[in-house]
Amino acid sequence: MPLHLYNTLSGKVEEFAPSQDNTVRMYACGPTVYDYGHIGNFRTFVAVDILRRFLRQSGHKLQHVMNITDVDDKIIRNAARDKKTVQEYTRKYEEAFLEDMGSLNLERPERLVRATEHIPAMAEFIAALEKKGFAYRTEDGSYYFRIAMFPEYGKLSKKDFGGMETGARVDVDEYEKDNARDFALWKSPKEGEAFWESSIGPGRPGWHIECSVMSMKYLGDSFDLHAGGEDLTFPHHENEIAQSEALTGKIFSRHWMHVRFLLVEGEKMSKSAGNFFTLRDLLVKGHKPSSIRFLLTSVPYRKQLNFTMAGLEQAAKSVERLRTFAARMRMMRLPAGTNPAAQEAAAKARREMRAGMEDDLNTAYASAAVFDMVREMNTLADHGELREGDKAPSLEVLELFDEIFAVMKDDDADKMKAAMEWAREHGLVGEAAKTISDEEVNRLIEERNAAKKARDFARSDALRKQLADGGIVLEDTKDGTRWKRK
C-alpha cells in the first residue's frame, strides 16, 4: 500500500505520491528566529522529519525546502530595542536552532533559506501582483493583497468570508483569527526600524510573501506538499495560496499537512502559565534528547499530544528498552538455526510498522509493533528458545524503525553536556534549576543513595554535582538526605 496522508485542502486522507518523477518537492515553514525553539515548535519539526525519513525509506528522493524567518515585526522591534542589526539579532537564534535540530536528530532539509536573502525577489513578486490587479499600494508606500479579487480565499481553512469588508486591511503579523482582511505584502519603513531598499520602494516584506517566493523559487509554481503547525492554516497558508495562485493561475501546493498543537501538562503552553519549555530548558534539566524525540513521535501528528514530565520519563524507559534489546541481540551467544515463532515476530513487526506509517503516519501503531516484537523475542530468549538466525531479522526491524524514529544511538550524554556548557556560559544554570520539580530532586537523590550504597562514588558525586548545578543543596544526616533550594 502506498502512503496515505490527510490533506487539509481536500479535508480527506489521500494517497500521496510525487507528481513528477520520483522526487517529492516539499516546503515546510521554518522557525521565526527571535528566540530559542520550544517543544511546540519541535513537535511540528519532528513530525515533518518523520515524514521525510519515511518518504526516503520508501524510495523517494527529496527536495525539501525550509525557510528561516529572519525578518518580522517582533524581530525588527527587538533588534531596534537591543541596538543591533536584524542579522546580528537573528544569527544567534538561527545557530541555536540548527544545533537544536542536531540534538533531536532532525535531518537537514535539502535547502534552508533565509527570508532576508530573497527580498528583491519578493519585491518583484509584489510588483507582478500589482500589475495583475491583485495588489495595491497605499499612500505610505505599503502594499496589500486585495482578497476580494481571489474568490477561492478560505478554501484551505474552510472559512466562509462571505460577509467580509472589502478594502479593510491588516498590517500586523499577529492576526485576528476569523477576520479576513486585505493583508500586507510589503510594509513601509517605520521610524528607527530596519528597512530594505527595493524595486517597489523602501520597506520590509510581510510574513506570508516570503514563503510563497521561496517555495516557488526552489520548487516551481506547483509542488507536492506544504507543511506547518495547525496555527499556520489561517491566515499564513491561506494567504500563501492566494498570493501564489493569483500570480500563476496554477495550483500552488497539491497537498497540505498540518500538525496539531501540543499541550503541556494538559494545558496550552504559555510563558505566563509556567509550562513553557524550550528544548534547551529540558536538556539542562537532565532530560535526554532521545526521550524528548521519542515522546514527540509517540502520538500521531494529527492527534493532540499532551507533553508531561511523566510521559518524558516513560519515553526514556521505552528508548532504554529498545537499546537494551539491541545490545542483548548483538551479544547473546545462541545455538545455530532459527525459531519460526521468532521469525514470524520479526516479519510481523516489519509489516505492521510499514502499515502504520502508511496509514497517515501512525507512529504510535508503528512503534507498538516494534515493542511487541521486543517483548516476544525477550520471552523466547528468556526461555532459551531463540536461535542465532533470529538475531538478524530482529535487528533489521530495529534498523528500519530507527531510520524513521532515530533514537537508538546512545549519544545523549554528549548532547546534554553541550547544553549544560551553553547554559553555564549564558549564566542560565541557576535559572533553569528553579524549574526542577521536587519529584525530580527526590528521584536524583534516590539514585545518588543507590550509587553510594553500591560504592559507586564517582556516580554519587556526579549526581550531587548535577543537583548543585541545579541550585539544590544536599545535607546528609543520620536520618537520610535533606535538601533545599539555594
Cis ω for the linkage preceding 189 (within 30 of 0): no
Helix axes 391-405, 39-57, angle to 10 degrees: 130
Q: Is 44 in the site for ligand AMP (CB under 6 A)?
A: yes
Give the separation between CA 407 and CA 405, rounded to whole angstroms: 6
Per DSSP, what are the bridge partners of residue 259?
A: 229
Per CB under 6 A, 31 contacts ligand AMP: yes
Interaction of residue 65 with Zn ion, rule CB under 5 A: no
Applying CB under 6 A, which part among 10-18, 40-48, 49-57, 287-295 lies near ligand AMP? 40-48
Q: Which amino acid is at 394?
A: S
Dihedral sign (CA 146, 207, 258, 243): positive
Site string for ligand AMP, 100-139 (x = CB under 6 A): ----------------------------------------
Closest residue by Cα to residue 40 from 296, 256, 298: 296
The one of Zn ion, ligand AMP, none whose footprint includes residue 41, by CB under 5 to 8 A per kind, is ligand AMP
Strand 143-145 versus strand 61-68 pairing type: unpaired
Partner whose binding site includes residue 278, from Zn ion, ligand AMP, none (CB under 5 to 8 Å by kind): none
From 39-47, 104-112, 162-170, 288-296, give the range in contact with ligand AMP by CB under 6 A.
39-47
Cβ proximity of 370 and 349 under 8 Å: yes
Alpha carbon separation from 332 to 90, 378, 380, 389, 397 (Å, rounded): 51, 11, 13, 12, 18
154, 228, 356, 393: which one binds ligand AMP (CB under 6 A): 228
Residues 6+ apart with CB under 8 A from 486: 430, 433, 471, 472, 473
Stretch that binds ligand AMP, among 80-88, 228-236, 324-332, 476-484 (CB under 6 A): 228-236
Question: Based on CB atoms, which residue is closest to ligand AMP, 43 or 464?
Answer: 43
Which of 450, 451, 446, 444 lies closest to 472 in space, CA to CA?
444
Asked if 66 interacts with Zn ion (CB under 5 A), we say no
| C-beta of residue 252 within 8 angstroms of C-beta of residue 240 | yes
Closer CB to Zn ion, residue 214 or residue 326? 214
**Identity of the residue, 259 or 420, whose beta carbon is nearer to ligand AMP in the bound complex:** 259
154 binds ligand AMP (CB under 6 A): no
- What span, in angstroms and rounded, lies between the C-alpha atoms of 118 and 196? 11
For ligand AMP, which is the closer residue by CB, 31 or 189? 31
Q: Which is nearer to ligand AMP, 44 or 198 (CB)?
A: 44
Each residue 202-221 as x (binds Zn ion by CB under 5 A) or -, in order, gives: ---------x----------
Q: Which residue number has the CB closest to ligand AMP?
A: 229
Residues that bind Zn ion (CB under 5 A): 29, 211
Residues that bind ligand AMP (CB under 6 A): 29, 31-32, 40-41, 43-44, 69, 228-229, 231-232, 259, 261-262, 269
